[in-house]
Amino acid sequence: MITEPTLTRRTAMAGLSAAAMLPPVAAGALSGPEATTVDDPIIAAIKKHKLLFDHATNIGMALSEAEDNASETHGHRPIPLIVWRNYHIGGSEIDIRRETLLAQGEVDPAVIEEEYRAAKARCEAIEQAGRDWDERTGLASWRREVDQARQATDASATALATTKPTTPAGAAALISYVLEDMEDYDCEWHQVALATAADALRDMSTT
């Protein structure tokens, strides 16, 4: 899991102004085969993340189509969401909701803890029903493969976001890759990566 960066998004973006002190490099200059000629570890990190992300996306879409087909015979797969105090939540959201309720101090903590345990139990029951559905439809191994692919992609994103570029061209490639990804997704690693790029550019501007 990516930890919170020491820089805010605004600070990270502001720090990129250090690039003005370096020789200009076009943001999209490393989108082709010439990217492999740049001696910078960030290039390999970008390539690895893209490959893993594309693979996870493709098999995830294929699994979704298989689920739709299976639902015609077995019904829809249970969605692991429960209702707790007017919130439709699941997974780690239940833990976050518990902390929020405790922090608000408007409900007896003992009541919150009792409701929390019940909410976790309800969610686990739905998750088990989902696993049972996977076994009945023959999609269990496929879902495990998708989960593993997504975990590998997340690990790669963490590595990418914390890999410090060593060249202006590498920093430009990282910024360009992050901005392109941000057009479709809003991920924590984006902020970390921009902060890393900003640090790298500042270091390069003082050497």
The answer, yes or no, to whether residue 161 has pLDDT greater than 60, is yes
Write the burial class of residue 81 (CB in 10 Å: 0-12 exposed, 13-18 middle, 19+ buried).
middle
Look up residue 75 and give its amino acid. Answer: G
This model's pTM is above 0.75: no
pLDDT attached to residue 1? 40
- Condensed to tens digits (0 to 9), the pLDDT of residues 36-63 reads 556 899 999 999 999 999 999 999 999 9
User: Could you give the CA distance from residue 166 to residue 83 in angstroms, rounded to a whole number?
Assistant: 49
Q: Does the pLDDT value for residue 7 go beyond 50?
A: no
Query: Is a pLDDT exceeding 90 seen at residue 149?
Result: yes
User: Mean pLDDT throughout 130-152?
Assistant: 96
Would you say residue 171 has pLDDT above 60? yes
Residue spans of alpha helices (H) in 7-108 = 9-15, 41-74, 92-104
Which tokens is 131 given? 């696993």
Residue 29 is predicted with a pLDDT of 43
